[in-house]
Chain A
Amino acid sequence: MGEITDLIDKIKRYYGFSPSEIRGLLVTIFVIAFIISFKEWGNGDEVDIGSGIFNLIVAILITAISLFIHESAHRVSSLYVGLRAEYKPWTFGLIVGLIIAFLSNGRIWVLLPGGIIVHHLSGHRIGWWRYDIAYVTLGMLALWGTLATLLFALLLKVLNNLVSSYIIEKALLFNIALALYTMIPLPPMNGSKLFYGSRMIYVFSTIFIVVTSALLIIDINPWLSVFSAFIVSIIGWVLYYSYIERNIWQGPFGGMKG
């Protein structure tokens, strides 16, 4: 109970977004919304400004809610372990996404929003092992964002089964794409932090996210998707360890000590 009270207090004190973070989030939301609504500005060569703006607003809403959930997961999980996550947009990734959207006429979504940097809350970190920020801790915090996005996609799938809607379908597709893109091991995406933190967890979670995403797109029971993905992930994890990791792991200090 004490931990919950402590977390609530930390959320009250440190959850707020800084002005530079809000600016970064706004730029990211607008660019990504533009990318995902690119092909919805009319039929064929005809441009329909009215429906285009409507679709852009819908896309902005979807992106804003999804990124809010993604970043909140980073933030709350970081605060729980005495750290504070800060969102930083990745200009290069956003521009690449825009270029690909223009070249593919909006058919290909490249969603590379940005990543987190983590601040050490000295007083709140006391009692945690290790006191400093470890690679694996950073990786796990990054993973929480992607898992929250996947969980949101799962809820959207359940909701879509109850009340079928174009907007829910689009939000579902966007969250699946976001979860997959954030697991790319390319700095500053979440995947890169987890990859350098722990390859074993990276492989397990990536397989889980890829398989869950694939099964969520196919029209089967969402909970069955998660269960199947979990089983496949365990198999993939064991195979990865047996055939790759076991041969390349050089000990806790990379073979440089002892």
Chain B
Amino acid sequence: MWLDKKGNVNMFDVWAEYFFFVLLATGFIVSLFAGSAIIGYIVIFLCGMMAGRLIYQRQEKLVAPYYLILVGFLIGFIIGSRFGNKSVLITLFIAGGFISYYIHDRGILHDVAF
């Protein structure tokens, strides 16, 4: 079902998987630039905050593919991180996501879909 009549991959049907790999590569590259464990922790926390915002905006809509994409980014980041503990990275990513979701949910930070 992912292939059209000519046997080519239909990108509109597999966009989530496609972006999973794109974000995996992005996460890998971003983590390579982190020069120390602290920088890596801060960056993954901020990325978690962006993920929380994304999930907040997509609530009650199509959420599952976004989780897949975010997991792709996290995996890429962990593979590329040279410093720091992997468990801490995962924890900070999730914590950032929860905090960002809470901030948006409580209306502390308004964001307009321009």
A interface with B by C-beta (< 8 Å):
20, 24, 27, 88-92, 95-96, 98-99, 102-105, 115, 117, 187-188, 192
Interface residue tally for chain B (C-beta within 8 Å): 17
Taking a contact as CB atoms under 8 Å apart, the answer to whether A117 and B114 are in contact is yes
| Most chain A beta-carbon neighbours within 10 Å: one of B50, B53, B110, B112 | B112
Other-chain residue from B35, B47, B112 in contact with A88 (beta carbon distance below 8 A):
B112
- A90, B110: Cβ atoms closer than 8 Å: no
Contacts of A90 in B (CB 8 A): 111, 114
* Contact call B43/A102, Cβ cutoff below 8 A: yes
Check if B39 is an interface residue, CB within 8 A of chain A: yes
Contact check, B114 vs A102: say whether CB atoms are below 8 A apart: no
Q: With contacts A88-B114, A99-B46, A187-B114 known, what are 5 further pairs, Cβ within 8 A?
A: A88-B111, A91-B109, A99-B30, A99-B43, A103-B39
In the bound assembly, the distance between CA atoms of A86 and B84 in angstroms comes to 42
Contacting residues, chain B, for A99 (C-beta < 8 A): 30, 43, 46-47
Shortest C-beta distance, B110 to chain A (Å), equals 6
When the two chains form their complex, are residues B112 and A102 in contact, meaning their CB atoms are under 8 A apart? no
Select from chain A the residue with minimum beta-carbon distance to B29. Answer: A103
Q: Is B16 an interface residue (CB 8 A)?
A: no
A residues within 8 A CB of B47?
A: 99
Q: Could you say which of A89, A95, A187 contacts B50, with CB atoms under 8 Å apart?
A: A95
B92 an interface residue at 8 Å Cβ cutoff?
no
Chain B residues near A104 (CB, 8 Å)?
A: 33
In the complex, which residue of chain B has the Cβ closest to the Cβ of A186?
Answer: B114
Roughly how many angstroms separate A188 CA and B113 CA in the complex, as a whole number?
9
The contact of A95 among B30, B46, B112, by CB within 8 Å, is: B46
A188 close to B33 (CB less than 8 A) = no
Q: Which residues of A contact B112 (CB under 8 A)?
A: 88, 117, 188
CB of B78 closer than 8 Å to a CB of A: no
B79 interfacial by beta-carbon distance below 8 Å = no
Of all chain A residues, the one with the shortest Cβ separation from B47 is A99
CB–CB A91/B53 < 8 A: yes
